[in-house]
Structure 1
Amino acid sequence: MEQSVQIITVATRDTDAAREFYVTGLGWRPLLDVPGEILFFQVAPGVALGLFDAVKFAEDLGGAAVTGPAGLTLSYNRDSPEEVDQCLAEAAAAGAEIVKPGQRAAFGGYHGHFRDPNGLIWEIAYNSGWSVGPDGRVRIGLIEEG
């Protein structure tokens, strides 16, 4: 199996709250918006984020229990600590709960976290050793792919 992900889908308790937060609050444009069911957003080249109604999500899995996005963080890397703080402020203004305000990070750099209205946690981070190249590949510190 190829090492690749094109869609990340998260069970969402309230698609209306997700729409209000991401579309109205943050100004994101959906790729697809099916009221009461699912929203898709382009979040990177070749990658979409789906916010799928939790009941319909469970039905799609054949009735398996769905408890929410525990132990999952989506990260958004910025170019400076000031941009991290700006993104956190924008998220808070849109209705996010700030879980961890911007601060120096144990891994180096600077980061903070917010929780969207459905419990999905985002990390906003800056680290000069992390980048995304013109080819779309993530580069972390001094790690080079052979």
Structure 2
Amino acid sequence: MRQKLTLITLGVRDFQRALQFYEQGLGWKKSTASQDNVAFFQLGGIVLSIYPWDLLAEDAQVPAAGSGFRGITLAYNTKDRAEADAVLKKAEAAGAVIIKPAVEVFWGGYSGYFRDPDGHLFEVAHNPFWEMNERDELVLPQ
């Protein structure tokens, strides 16, 4: 497993308010990979995304409230599906709990989640629509 994070997703209670904060307030430009309810911002070699809180919990298959869900996930993007499976197995062997085994997901990729020993959620995903550069950093369309 490479020592690399590629994406931080913040669960937001009010998507439009959050989008306004990042775009108009901070002056950040969202990627054209953004959609109606998810926005992506290239931050050097890492990507920040904002996504509705409840939908993020649903994607990770954890309750949105009352479960200790913190409204944030860290992501490790892989080069292919086999690497995603291998990373999840390695995390589990190290003591992580697999929350969602990797499966084909609605956006066309392959994704699973694990919870580290302190309860932090990590998504392990292969996104065939996103490019990774020679340093394994995500490069989003402008």
Greater Rg by CA: 1
Relative to the length of structure 2, the TM-score reads 0.48
Relative contact order (C-alpha < 8 Å, sep 6+): which is higher?
Answer: 2
Relative to the length of structure 1, the TM-score reads 0.47
